[in-house]
Structure 1
Amino acid sequence: MGELQEKLKLLPDSPGVYIMLDKDGIVIYVGKARVLKNRVRQYFHGSEKPEKVAAMVEHIADFYYIITKTEIDALGLENNLIKKYKPKYNILLKDDKTYPYIKVHTKEEFPRFSITRKIKKKDGKYFGPFMGGIRCKEILDVTSSVYNVRLCDVAIGEKPKKPCLAYHLHRCLAPCAHLCTKEEYAERVKKAVSFLDGNYEEAEKLLREKMMQFAANEDFELAMEYREKLAMLSKLKLRRITSLNRCINADIIALKTNYLYSAVNILITRSGIMQGGSNFALEDASLSEADALTAFIIQYYSAHEIPEEIITAEYCEKELLENFFLEHFDKKVEVVFAKQGVRRQLLEMAERNAEDYLSKSIDKIKHKDDMTKNACARLKEILGLKRYPKRMECYDISNISGVDKVGSMVVFSDGEPDKMSYRRFKIKTVEGANDFASLQEVLKRRLSKLGTAEEARFPKPDLIIIDGGKGQLSSVEEIFEEMNVTDIDLISLAKQEEEVFTPYRSDSVRIDHRDYVLKMLQRIRDEAHRFAITYFRSLHSKRNLASVLAEIEGVGKKKQIALMEKFGTIDKIMHAGIEDLTQAEGIGEELAKRIKTYFEEKL
C-alpha cells in the first residue's frame, strides 16, 4: 500500500483515464476523470464507499493512468479500453440481443428496402428498432404492397432484365426491367419513407380499398390477407403517444441501483410511437450513479442507433455526453432532464421498469456470478493455476478420415463466451487424420502471435484448454516447450469421464459433476466442438458442391464459384428455377437449362 500512496501523490490535475490492476496484473477496472488526482484518490480515502466499490478496492494492487487532452477524449478512451480488457468491475454490455431495422439504401440510384440488425453510420436511412410483437417483415411487406418499392438486391444496369414475380404481383415497379422512370420510382420511395416515419393514413386507405376490391371479386383469401395488414397498422397506431411530437425520436433511460447491482431500462420512441423497451442487469464499481449511467450510455450507443433525444435523470452528465456524440459521431443529441409533462411520465415509467427488473434480477446475477467469475476463481484454486484465468482459450479439431481438417479456438472472458474473439483454422501441413499433429499446427500458429504487433488483436491467454485426454495434452506441451511458453497455464478435458489433465500430475483431476467449475469447462469445451464442426461442415459442403458442379458440361471453375456464392449449397441449386440460376454471374439461359436438367436426371 506504501507504493500506491506514493503514486497517489504524483497524480496530475489533468483529465484522463485510470486503469486499476490486481496482484496478477489483470485489469479489473477502467474509469475516466475530469481531474485524475481528485478522482483516483477518492478510491483510497477512508470515506464510506458503495459495497461494490469497496470490494474492488480490496483487490487493487496497482494502477496507472493515461492523460488526455479533454474529458471527452477520456470518455472515448475509457470505452475503448473497457472493450479491450473487459474488466471485472466495469459495466460490460453484450451485443447478442439486437432488434431489426428497416434500411432504405439511399445511396443507390433506385433505393431498395431491406431488413438489417446492424447499423452503419452514414450508410442509408434506418427505421426501427421493431420490437414487442411488431414484426419487421410485416412492415416491409406492407411497404412493398402499397408503394411497390423493390426489396431485392438485383443490380440495375443499362441492359433491362426480365421482370420478376414481384412485378406481376404489383409489389414492385421493376426498375431493373426499365419499366419505370427514376422520377416515378423516387416518388414511391418518398411516400414509403413517409409511411415508415409513422404517417400511416395513406397506406391504411389504400389497403382498405384493396381489401374491399378483393372481397367484391370474391377473392376472400387475399381480402383476409389485407385485413391482417390493416390490423397490424392499427396495432402500430395504438402505440402512438398523442402528446409527444411526431418528429421526435427519443430514448428514455432510467438507472436503479442497490450499490451492489444495478438495472437499466430503455424505452424507445420513434416518430412519437412507442417501439418497446429493453432491460439490462449490470454489475459496476462506479463511484456515482452519474458515472455508471454515462458508462452505460456510451457503451450502448456504440452498437445501437443514436436518437435525437435522450430523456433521463438530472444527475446525468448532460454537457459531456452531448459534446461526445457531436465530436465522435457527428450527431447532435439533446440530453433532456424530464421535469414535467409526457416526458416526465415516460421517465417515471422507465424508472418503475428498472426498479422492478432489479428486484427480480438479483438472484439471477448471483447465480450467473457463481457460474462464471466465481467458477474461474475456484478453478484457479482447484488446479493450482499461476493466475486467475480471465481469458481462457479452448481448442478442438474436426475432420472425417483426414479430409477437410479444421481447428477451432473459442474464447471465454471471466467465464463467459467472447464470440468476437473466436477464430477458425484450416489445417495446412498435416497429411491424413492426425489430431495430435493438427493441434500442434494450430497452437504453433496461435502462439506465434505473442510478442508481435498482432498481440493487440490476439491477447495472451491466461489458460489454454484442449479438448481431449493426456495424449492431446502431451502433444501441445511439446509446442509449449519448443516455443518456450512458460507463463500460460495448460489443461485438457477428456469427454468420456470428464477428467481434467494437467502437465504437473500423472493422474487426472476429477471435479464433482455438480460443481460450477466443471460445468464451465464443459461449456467452453462443447462450444469449441460446435464451432469446429460448423466450420468443417461448411468447408465439406462447398468442396462436395464444387465436385458435383464440375461434372456439368460448361460449368468451369469461375461459374462454379459464381453458383456457390449465389446459392451456397447443392440443395438450393437443385431447387432453383432456370430464371434463378441465370442470376448467377456468367450463367446464361442455355447453361441454366443444362444445370436444371442435370439435377433432374442425375440426382
Structure 2
Amino acid sequence: MTHTPETAFDAKPILRTLPQGPGVYRMLDARGAIIYVGKARNLKRRVSSYFNRGAHNAKTQSMVGQVRDVQITVTHTEAEALILENNLIKEHRPRYNVLLRDDKSYPYIYLSSQQRFPRLAFHRGSRRGAGRYFGPFPSAGAVRETLNHLQKVFPVRQCRDTFFENRTRPCLQYQIERCTAPCVGYVSEEQYARDVRHVEMFLDGDSDAVIDELVRRMEAASQALEFEEAARLRDRISALRRIQESQYVAGAKGDVDVIACELREGVACVQVFVVRNGNNLGNRTFFPKAPEGTEAGEILYAFIARHYLGDSAPTELLVSHEIEDREVLEEALSGDAGHRVRIASRVRGERRRWVQLARSNAEHALAARMSTQASMDRRYEDLQEGLGLDAIPERIECFDISHTQGEATVASCVVFNREGPLKSDYRRFNISGIEPGDDYAAMRQALERRYTRVKQGEAPVPDLLLIDGGKGQLAQAEAVLQELQLVDVTIVGISKGPRRRPGEEVLHIAGRAGEFRLAPDAPGLHLLQHVRDEAHRFAITGHRGRRGKQRTHSVLEDIGGLGPKRRQALLKHFGGLRGVQRAGVEDLMRVPGISQALAERIHDSLNG
C-alpha cells in the first residue's frame, strides 16, 4: 500500500492485517525509499507502537512523520528476523538505522598447507583456501605487527607463490635474516616444517610449549659445543618472551571481544579490544552513524549484529551497556558462528577492568575525533571511496626525489596519519652510487633502504604508499615491495597532467590497468596533493642543504690530521687553495704546525 506525500498516512488498514508472529518490517517514505528497518518478536504489537499516541523521542517522531508505507516479511523465529534485518540494513542503509561506515571484515593471518614450503600471509575476505586462518585481528596493522614478530623468530616465507617459484637466488629477506631461502634450497623440508609447526603452536596460544622445546634444543646444542646454534636459539627464546609480555592479558582465557560505546554531542564511538587465547591482539575504533537520540545500548546492539553476523563471533562478548533482546542476539550469533556465543555486561574483577579500559579508550578516541578538524576526516573518507580501498588508510607514506642536473640527489619520505603530518616519522635519504639524474634508480634505492628498515621493525608498514611520479616510478615501488614481501600495501603513483595544473593530476594504481583521475574539488585529491607537496618541500629542503654543503666543502677537509686551524694557516700562507696546490713538500713544511709527513699527505692528496 503506497500513499502520496499530500495524503496523510493512515496506518490502520495495514495494522489490522499484521500477524502476531516474528518478522521484519520496513518503513518507506513518499519516494518509496526505505528509511528504517526493524525486527520484532510480535510484528503487530511492535509496528502498532509507532502509531500510538504515546510519547516518542524526537528521532522516532521525525521518522514516523515521513512514513508513507510499511512492508513486512514474516519469519519463523526472532533470531531469523535479526539476520534478515541485518542483511537489509547492509543493502539499503536506511537513514534512521545505526550504520557502520567501515563495514569490512576483520583481517586474518593465513598459513597455507598445499605447498612443500607453506607461507604466512595477510588475509581479508572469504576463508576458503587450503590451510589455517588465525584471528580475527582488530586491524591490518595488528596483522602486520604479528607477522613481523613471527618472521623475526620463525623465518617462514611470506612471499607469493609466483615470486617464490621463480627465484634463482635468495631475496633481501634472506639477507636480513627474515627467511631461510627455501626457494633455492638453503633449508631442508624437515627444518622448515619445524618452524611452521612452531608458528601454528604460537598462533594457537601455545607459546609456552614452543619456548620449552626451544630451551631443550638450546641446552642440547650447548652440551654438544654447538655454541653458535645455542646462541641463535637463545635469541629466539628472548624474542618470544618479549612478544608474550606485550600481548599477555591477565586472567584471559579463550576468545573474548571487549566492546564499549561512548556518546558525545550526537557522535558515537565504539571501541573493540580483541583477546584470543589469552593474548591481546589490539583494539579497533569505529564511529557508527546513529540518528540523534539513539542510546548506547541500541548502538551496541546494532553494532554487534552488523559486525559479527556473517563473520564469526568469538565465544564471549563483554559490553559496556545493557543490551535489549540480548538472548535473541546470542541465539543469532551462535547459529551463525557454529558455537555458543555469550554476551555479558555485568562483570566483575579483571573483566570489569577490561570493560573500563575499553570505555576509557573510547572516550579518548571520541575526544580526539571531536577536536580533529572535520575536513581531515572527510578527506580520508573521500580518498577511500575515490580509490576503492578496503578501509580508510590509517598511515600514508609518500616519496619524492630532488636534485639539480643529477647533483646532490636526495629522496624524501613524509608520513601522514588521520591527524595530519607525522613529522617525527619523516626521513631523508642521500642517494649515491647511481648515474646522475637517474630518478628510477634513486627511487628504488630510497625505497629499499626505507622498507628494509620497516621489515626490521623500525617503523609501521603504511596502508598507502604514494609515489610522486608516473608508471616508471610506480614500477620501482612495486618491485621493491614485492622483493620485501610487503604485498598488502596499496601503491599509487601521482603525476601532473599534460598542462601541469593543480586538479588535473593523473593517478596510477598498482595492479589496476589504465589511468585514474579524481574530481578537481574532491577532498581525497586535496589530501593527495597535500601529501605530495609536503614530500616535495621536504626533498627540496634536503637537496639544497646537501648541495650547499658540497659546494662550500673544501678538499682540505678530507685530509686526515689537518684541522681547522692548520687549514686556515695554509690558506693564509699561500693566498688560497690554488697556492696550496702549487706548493711543494718543502714549501708546505714552512707553515707552522705542518710536519714532513703531513706535508707529504697534503701534496699527494692535492696532486693525485
1:383-402, aligned counterparts within 5 Å? none
Which residue is equivalent to 1:188?
195
What TM-score do the two structures reach when normalised by structure 1? 0.51
Q: Quick check: 1:19–1:29 contact (8 Å CA) kept in 2? A: yes
Q: Does 84-93 or 285-294 show the bigger shift?
A: 285-294
Q: Give per-residue Cα distances to partners, 1:306-334, cap 9 Å, x unaligned.
A: 32321124435443233323333434433
Residue 152 (structure 1) aligned with residue 159 (structure 2) = yes
Residue 539 (structure 1) aligned with residue 514 (structure 2) = yes
Relative to 1, partners in 2 of residues 1:94 and 1:21: Cα closer, same or farther, differing over 3 Å?
A: same
Q: Quick check: 2:23–2:73 contact (8 Å CA) kept in 1? A: yes
3-state SS of 2:245 partner: helix
Relative to 1, partners in 2 of residues 1:126 and 1:178: Cα closer, same or farther, differing over 3 Å?
A: same
Aligned-partner residue type, residue 42 of structure 1:
S
Q: Distance in 2 between matches of 1:418 and 1:66?
A: 37
Residue 60 (structure 1) aligned with residue 35 (structure 2) = no
Q: Quick check: 2:106–2:137 contact (8 Å CA) kept in 1? A: yes
Aligned-partner residue type, residue 32 of structure 1:
K
Q: Quick check: 1:338–1:347 contact (8 Å CA) kept in 2? A: no
Q: Quick check: 1:91–1:284 contact (8 Å CA) kept in 2? A: yes
3-state SS of 1:539 partner: coil
Q: Quick check: 1:204–1:233 contact (8 Å CA) kept in 2? A: no
Measured after TM superposition, the shift of residue 20 of structure 1 is: 1.0
Relative to 1, partners in 2 of residues 1:259 and 1:31: Cα closer, same or farther, differing over 3 Å?
A: farther
Which residue is equivalent to 1:249?
255
Aligned-partner residue type, residue 47 of structure 2:
V
Q: Distance in 2 between matches of 1:232 and 1:180?
A: 23
Equivalent of residue 339 in structure 1, options 333, 347, 351? 347
Q: Distance in 2 between matches of 1:419 and 1:319?
A: 37
Which residue is equivalent to 2:479?
none
3-state SS of 1:45 partner: coil
Which residue is equivalent to 1:31?
38
3-state SS of 2:36 partner: strand
Q: Give per-residue Cα distances to partners, 1:213-232, cap 9 Å, x unaligned.
A: 9xxxxx9xxx99x9899679
What is the aligned-residue identity percentage?
30
Which residue is equivalent to 1:276?
282
Equivalent of residue 85 in structure 1, options 92, 104, 122? 92
Q: Give per-residue Cα distances to partners, 1:558-588, cap 9 Å, x unaligned.
A: xxxxxxxxxxxxxxxxxxxxxxxxxxxxxxx
Relative to 1, partners in 2 of residues 1:5 and 1:66: Cα closer, same or farther, differing over 3 Å?
A: same
Which residue is equivalent to 1:22?
29
Which residue is equivalent to 1:105?
112
Aligned-partner residue type, residue 180 of structure 2:
C
Q: Distance in 2 between matches of 1:48 and 1:197?
A: 52
3-state SS of 2:127 partner: coil
Q: Does 83-92 or 137-146 show the bigger shift?
A: 137-146
Q: Distance in 1 between matches of 2:47 and 2:127?
A: 36
Equivalent of residue 4 in structure 1, options 11, 19, 24? 11
Q: Distance in 1 between matches of 2:129 and 2:316?
A: 19
Q: Distance in 2 between matches of 1:231 and 1:205?
A: 15
Q: Quick check: 1:197–1:271 contact (8 Å CA) kept in 2? A: yes
Relative to 1, partners in 2 of residues 1:261 and 1:132: Cα closer, same or farther, differing over 3 Å?
A: closer
Q: Distance in 2 between matches of 1:153 and 1:420?
A: 21
Aligned-partner residue type, residue 34 of structure 1:
R
1:296-335, aligned counterparts within 5 Å? 296-302=303-309, 306-312=313-319, 313-315=321-323, 317-335=325-343
1:139-538, aligned counterparts within 5 Å? 139-154=146-161, 164-165=170-171, 171-172=179-180, 174=182, 177=185, 180-181=188-189, 185-200=192-207, 202=210, 234=242, 237-245=245-253, 248-257=254-263, 261-284=267-290, 290-302=297-309, 306-312=313-319, 313-315=321-323, 317-355=325-363, 357=365, 419=388, 538=513
Q: Distance in 1 between matches of 2:56 and 2:183?
A: 65
Q: Does 529-538 or 66-75 show the bigger shift?
A: 529-538
Q: Greater relative contact order: 1 or 2 (C-alpha under 8 angstroms, separation 6 or more)?
A: 2
Aligned-partner residue type, residue 353 of structure 2:
Q
Q: Distance in 2 between matches of 1:365 and 1:75?
A: 37
Measured after TM superposition, the shift of residue 367 of structure 1 is: 8.8
Measured after TM superposition, the shift of residue 258 of structure 1 is: 6.8
Residue 115 (structure 1) aligned with residue 90 (structure 2) = no
Relative to 1, partners in 2 of residues 1:102 and 1:7: Cα closer, same or farther, differing over 3 Å?
A: same
Aligned-partner residue type, residue 77 of structure 1:
L
Q: Quick check: 2:298–2:323 contact (8 Å CA) kept in 1? A: no
3-state SS of 2:281 partner: strand
Measured after TM superposition, the shift of residue 250 of structure 1 is: 0.9
Q: CA RMSD in A?
A: 5.2
Q: Give per-residue Cα distances to partners, 1:271-320, cap 9 Å, x unaligned.
A: 22222222323343598755542321121125756323211244354432
3-state SS of 1:278 partner: strand
Q: Distance in 2 between matches of 1:366 and 1:123?
A: 44
Q: Quick check: 2:101–2:288 contact (8 Å CA) kept in 1? A: no
Structure 2 unaligned runs (5+)? 1-7, 223-227, 391-502, 517-608
Measured after TM superposition, the shift of residue 251 of structure 1 is: 0.5
Structure 1 unaligned runs (5+)? 214-218, 373-410, 422-527, 542-603
Q: Distance in 1 between matches of 2:163 and 2:507?
A: 39
Relative to 1, partners in 2 of residues 1:235 and 1:171: Cα closer, same or farther, differing over 3 Å?
A: closer
Q: Quick check: 1:112–1:151 contact (8 Å CA) kept in 2? A: yes
How many matched pairs? 385
Measured after TM superposition, the shift of residue 33 of structure 1 is: 1.2
Q: Distance in 2 between matches of 1:4 and 1:364?
A: 45
Q: Give per-residue Cα distances to partners, 1:488-512, cap 9 Å, x unaligned.
A: xxxxxxxxxxxxxxxxxxxxxxxxx
Which residue is equivalent to 2:557?
none
Aligned-partner residue type, residue 109 of structure 2:
I
3-state SS of 1:255 partner: strand
Q: Distance in 2 between matches of 1:329 and 1:257?
A: 29
What TM-score do the two structures reach when normalised by structure 2? 0.51
Q: Distance in 1 between matches of 2:511 and 2:242?
A: 47
Aligned-partner residue type, residue 333 of structure 1:
V
Aligned-partner residue type, residue 346 of structure 1:
W
Q: Distance in 2 between matches of 1:319 and 1:176?
A: 56
Relative to 1, partners in 2 of residues 1:249 and 1:50: Cα closer, same or farther, differing over 3 Å?
A: same
Q: Distance in 2 between matches of 1:152 and 1:289?
A: 44
Which residue is equivalent to 1:74?
81
Relative to 1, partners in 2 of residues 1:108 and 1:60: Cα closer, same or farther, differing over 3 Å?
A: farther
Aligned-partner residue type, residue 58 of structure 2:
E
Q: Quick check: 2:110–2:123 contact (8 Å CA) kept in 1? A: yes
Q: Distance in 1 between matches of 2:114 and 2:42?
A: 44
Q: Distance in 2 between matches of 1:418 and 1:14?
A: 45
